[in-house]
Structure 1
Amino acid sequence: MLPMNRRRNEDTRMDAGGFAIAGRRIAADHAALVVAELGQNHNGSLSLAEQLIDAAAWAGADAIKLVKRDLDSELSREARSRRYDSRHAFGATYGEHRQALELSAYEHALLAARAWRHGLIYIETACDIASAAVLGELEVNAVKIASRDLKNLPLEYDEASRGKPVILSTGMAGLAEIDEAVDVVREAGPPFAVLQCTSLYPTPVGDVHLRSMVTLGSRYAVPVGFSDHTTGLLLAPVAVAMGAAIVEKHLTLDRSLKGTDHACSLEPDEFRQLVRQVRQVETALGRADKPVAEGVATVRAKLGRSLVTRVPLAAGTRIEEPMLVLKCPGDGLSWLDRQRVVGRRLKRDLAADEKLKLEDVF
């Protein structure tokens, strides 16, 4: 029996402008959902996983994501028994390696409760239908279809049919394959988003293709995002500037730890900086109606231009345009205002370079 620490389900209905995960709006016109991808950076340790969740909350993440596997369902006997000689191996065979990294369903439930206490959205990837059933009992806030399973349509349909919002990752697929996956999710009916991703760890910058994210948004008319496997902080904020509603980045406590994902992960202080940069980009994006910022009027008065006399003019002179020139400061009549004075007569004498005012003419 799993611990009864479930988070209340909230509205997840989808419309043309997006949908909600646990009440958090997922849309290009809303603050991006920043996901700390924990994956298996816990190295099979519940304590390390708890520390990662605490670090994600401290860093300002909106959500965390974990991975659940049932090895009997996921791996063939041949795959489980294959020798695994990687320097990142946690076992002599691939099956032993994977088993060492796996947390129990009970431990996943404890981690979900910890995330929710921090106010974090809890997302999981199920690697097989048996694990999807476990996550169904946990009542996770959303499920993510991993890039490797985009063509695993039976798993995809099973997860999408459970009613939770779905996040599709596309790191190993072209548009034709993504079309098939999107059709399956649409048939099942949950709200969903699609992430641009490249399944190389780390991803060379030239293989990121952020413009593909824009293509995915226009092609499927759903919110899009970016799952970032590059090193450094640059590209997630760039993706937000291009319309990402979700950005995901791996989090580790220490990049030098054993494990394949640690090297392309951010440490907590770096992740905190990433979140700040994302929020700064969102603030900088601002409004689309070209507002004039507060304080600009003072700058314009100092640096702008006003109509002044080009030469001395006597009272009674009929003003003609060649008599006027624009000079700083800009707190007087503008060039467009010349129509209000040209053709009218001066009430008083004006010296050269003297600012012209409406009350000077009749």
Structure 2
Amino acid sequence: MEGLNLLVERNIAPFVVFQGETLLTALGKMSGNKSGFLCVIDSRGHATGILTDGDVRRWLTSREFISLEEDALEAANADFTKLSVDADARDIEAAFSSRIRAVPLLDAAGRVAAIAFARSGAMAIGDRRIGAEEPCYIIAEIGNNHQGELEIAKRLIDVAVEAGADCAKFQMRDMTSLYRSGGRADDPSQDLGAQYTLDLLARFNLGEKELFAAFDYCQKRGIEPLCTPWDLVSLEALERYGMRGYKIASADLTNHELVSAVAATGKPLICSTGMAREAEIKELVQLLRAEGAMFSLLHTNSTYPAPFKDINLQYMDRLAEIGGCPCGYSGHERGIAVPIAAVARGANIIEKHITEDRSQEGNDHKVSLLPLELGEMVRGIRAVEESLGSRDQRTLTQGELMNREILAKSLQAAVDIPIGTEISDEMIVIQSPGQGLQPNRRGELIGRVARRDILAATPFFPTDLEDERISARHYKFDRPWGIPVRWHDYKKMLEISSPDFLEYHLSYRDMEVELKDWFVKPLNVGYVVHAPELFKGDHTLDLAATDVDYRRQSIDELQRLIDLTRDLKQWHNVSGDPLIVTNMGGFSTAHALPVSIRPELYERIEESLAQLDLEGVEIVPQTMPPYPWHFGGQSYHNLFMDPNEIAAFCEKNKMRVCLDVSHSQLACNAFKWSMKEFCEVVGPHTAHLHIVDALGVDGEGMQIGEGNIDFHMIAEVLRKTCPNASFVPEIWQGHKDSGLGFWIALDRLETLLANSAIEADSVFSGKLAV
């Protein structure tokens, strides 16, 4: 298998099951070792069979009666490949195929002494996997930049942790065994360069006790300690400590004695290839494979600092071919541009030196990053990783869809087209905005018979190319339900359906109208008002803004909306205080804000609310997603995402919220929270619901059934926690084509839950929002 990274595991306990142990025991072990593989052995340690998850499935399907209490050997494959533990690595490699992913290795007595695994393109240090499908493993190289002081070493560890690095790396040397004359810096026989280096090492070397204390501090701070052993004495000490992985310095790439000794530990190796010829790199790879080591290679130019013209990042591709393993880059150039570029080119590992002060004594300081630079590099790498995506997929993002609506063109009716009319070319015009059929579908439209009355200067929609249309009807739900509307379309929506209330979605221009121009007599439905996201002058409402003037404007704009909401009451025959759904603010543009400052932001919101005249209305903050879209641009939200923060805010201020299930599912997806637990915490504080699907971490406003929300679960939780909360299907652009998106959503919600177990034992009547 080309590019096979062979791992020989001598700790066989997790990968064997004794003959006579049950299948249930075997399945538990297989789940625990995450290899999908077990070797069945007898009481003498001899291999009697191989058991894989595939073997278990085949055995289960072949049995009329199934009992997991049967002997694991019953389901095992007795015809399996096994080799001697002394077999050449090339022979072991040759035994693997797409079907065979593990081979037991036997000692002279036929006992299982080790198991060889095929690790194609991946390795692991501790619990952190390293490879093409994993985030880049970022090593903050402290080396000897601690200047021989443990306290400086600890401060640099803190720098690595705060920057978000995965590993803090050191170097260990036994000066007595490593250098002739015991490493004396005053040895007159040493060359000038060697004498300079020896002098630095003699003064700045950390001893075993101090290094181990630094490693312990890494463990305490939650970052992986890694170390380069420069000699066998240091390796022995590091093994005593329990190091989980090792770095081989470029200077030792041809030191096969040390490399073999490190490989023999069974720990993963990261090997720098600076100063090495390709033939020497190939020799190293051959040696590591023969030792059955799990390893990776780093492209390196060992010049301090390395000129950009000498970096040759493209050689990483060749290195990956030679090693058949994860590859990365260890940089000695100035700045952060090259390592970020290396990640864009596929680097799985990045190593960079760090320092407190570049003017300190020693070559490494000159090529090291300062604390802020390390953080900038890590953020740059993570941004590049996030941006790489897939070469085989082109998906329109939510932001692109929003801007396509605004900026693109669509097919619109040039004249009124009565239902039943055959659509001709001259009836079609291409105009902005792009809210309907795209211009490239003009040919499909010509010759179709209009299935609805199409007014001039309105867009054609995809449904105009279909033979059937979903229409609005009268829905029944066991809690108040409504639909989002604008001033211009609420009458039409009321004509074709019977909602309990309307949710007016306003722009800042809608706030400037005379209500008497849109209402003739009071309506017999309730209403909710959704605040504009954007006000005049590109002002996004933010009651938590640090800028006093900006926050004052937000307060004033929200007061205008409150006044308008009170005025609307005369046009609706309802009692009670209408709800105002709003985003309270607390967003940021460059990155998410630290959790530690959230209490301050919530306090500013409370101060802002205290300046509002809220008589006759109820403000309900909207639960928010982590990466909201503001008119085609993405930002970061910081507030009203965490369920416990939301509950605490509501309890303290005696307020309720609008639970937007799409927004909250996105937050749960991003932060690995349980949506069920989220709804259990926020549900009791919920006055109103926005029901809509979600996908990933920023795919909001999706049609029901096109995301990853479990609506059956949410319905059950919300029935218990907020049975009287009202809801709307807030599908993005659901109002288009006479509200088609809303009618599809309501139909799907009924179908989804009418078939669920909830209907049988609750008052839900098969609807979501009941």
TM-score by length of 2: 0.42
Indicate yes or no: 2:133 matched with 1:29: yes
SS at match of 1:247: strand
Q: Which of residues 85, 105, 108 is equivalent to 2:208? A: 105
Contact 1:345 1:361 survives alignment (8 Å): no
Q: How far apart are residue 184 of structure 1 and its match? A: 1.0
1:242 alignment counterpart? 345
Contact 2:435 2:459 in 1 (8 A): no
Deviations 1:154-198 (A, max 9, x none): 111111111111001001112211000111111111211100110
Partner of 1:6: none
Percent pairwise identity: 35
Retained in 1: the 8 A contact 2:175–2:183? no
**1:296-340 CA distance string (max 9 Å, x none):** 322212222212356x68878754446644322211222354344
Of 313, 323, 331, the match for 1:220: 323
Counterpart contact for 1:14–1:20, Cα < 8 Å: no
| Cα distance, 1:181–1:341 mapped onto 2, change above 3 Å | same
Contact 2:172 2:234 in 1 (8 A): yes
Aligned with 2:279 (options 168, 171, 176): 176
Distance 2:302 2:272 in 1: 10
Shift in CA distance, 198/314, structure 1 to aligned 2, threshold 3 Å: closer
Alignment gaps of 5+ in structure 2? 1-31, 35-116, 468-770
Q: What is aligned with 2:437? A: 333
C-alpha contact 1:84 1:93 (8 A) present in aligned 2: no
Give, in angstroms, the shift of residue 287 of structure 1.
4.3
* Shift, 1:14, TM fit: 6.4
Go from structure 1 to structure 2 and tell me whether the alpha carbon gap of 1:165 and 1:344 turns closer, same or farther (over 3 Å shift): closer
2:737 is matched with which residue?
none
Distance 1:287 1:78, change over 3 A: same
* CA–CA distance in structure 2, aligned partners of residues 97 and 236 of structure 1: 27
Q: How does 1:240-279 map to 2 (within 5 A)?
A: 240-279=343-382
Letter in 1 for 2:431: K
Give the Cα–Cα distance (whole angstroms) in 2 for the partners of residues 336 and 56 of structure 1.
Answer: 53
Q: Secondary structure at the match of 1:295?
A: helix
Q: What is the CA-CA distance between 1:286 and the residue it aligns to?
A: 3.3
Distance in 2 separating the partners of 1:114 and 1:354: 67
Describe the SS at the equivalent of 1:29. Answer: coil
Question: Separation in 2 of the partners of 1:280 and 1:244?
Answer: 14
Aligned to 2:218: 115
Q: Name the aligned partner's letter for residue 272 of structure 1.
A: G
Q: Deviations over 1:65-87 (max 9, x none)?
A: 1111122322223974147797x
Q: Which residue of 1 aligns with 2:122?
A: 18
Which is bigger in relative contact order (C-alpha 8 A, separation at least 6)?
1
Partner of 1:187: 290
Q: CA deviation at 1:46?
A: 2.3
Find the residue that maps to 1:148 and give its secondary structure. helix
- Deviations along 1:209-239, one digit per CA (max 9) or x if unpaired, are 1111122113322101110111111111111
Distance 2:33 2:246 in 1: 15
Aligned pair count? 348
| The one of 227, 230, 243 aligned to 2:333 | 230
Aligned partners of 2:217, 2:176: CA distance in 1, in Å?
28
Question: Is the Cα contact below 8 Å between 2:430 and 2:439 reproduced in 1?
Answer: yes
Asked if 1:166 corresponds to 2:269, the answer is yes
Superposed displacement of residue 25, structure 1: 1.1
Query: Is 2:198 the counterpart of 1:67?
Result: no
User: Which stretch shifts more, 292-301 or 273-282?
Assistant: 292-301
Shift of the 325–84 alpha-carbon distance from structure 1 to 2, 3 Å rule, reads farther
With over 3 angstroms needed to count, the CA separation of the structure-2 counterparts of 1:256 and 1:309, relative to structure 1, is same
Q: Is the 8 A contact 1:82 1:95 kept in 2?
A: no
Partner SS, residue 350 of structure 2 = strand
TM-score (norm 1): 0.85
Name 1:4's counterpart in structure 2. Answer: none
| Counterparts in 2 of 1:301 and 1:139: CA distance versus 1, 3 Å | same
Q: Gapped runs of 5+ residues in structure 1?
A: 1-9
Preserved contact between residue 249 and residue 271 of structure 2 (Cα < 8 Å): yes
What is the letter of the counterpart of residue 173 of structure 1? A
**Structure 1 counterpart SS, 2:142:** strand
Distance 2:132 2:178 in 1: 35
Report the CA distance between 1:244 and its aligned residue: 1.2
Using a 3 Å threshold, how does the CA distance of structure 1 residues 192 and 337 change in structure 2: closer, same or farther? Answer: same
Q: Does 1:294 align with 2:407?
A: no
Identify the residue that residue 342 of structure 1 maps to in structure 2: 446
**Residues 318 and 225 from structure 1, CA distance in 2 versus in 1: closer, same or farther, beyond 3 angstroms?**
same
SS of alignment partner, residue 58 of structure 1: helix
What does residue range 45-60 of structure 1 map to in structure 2 within 5 Å? 45-60=149-164
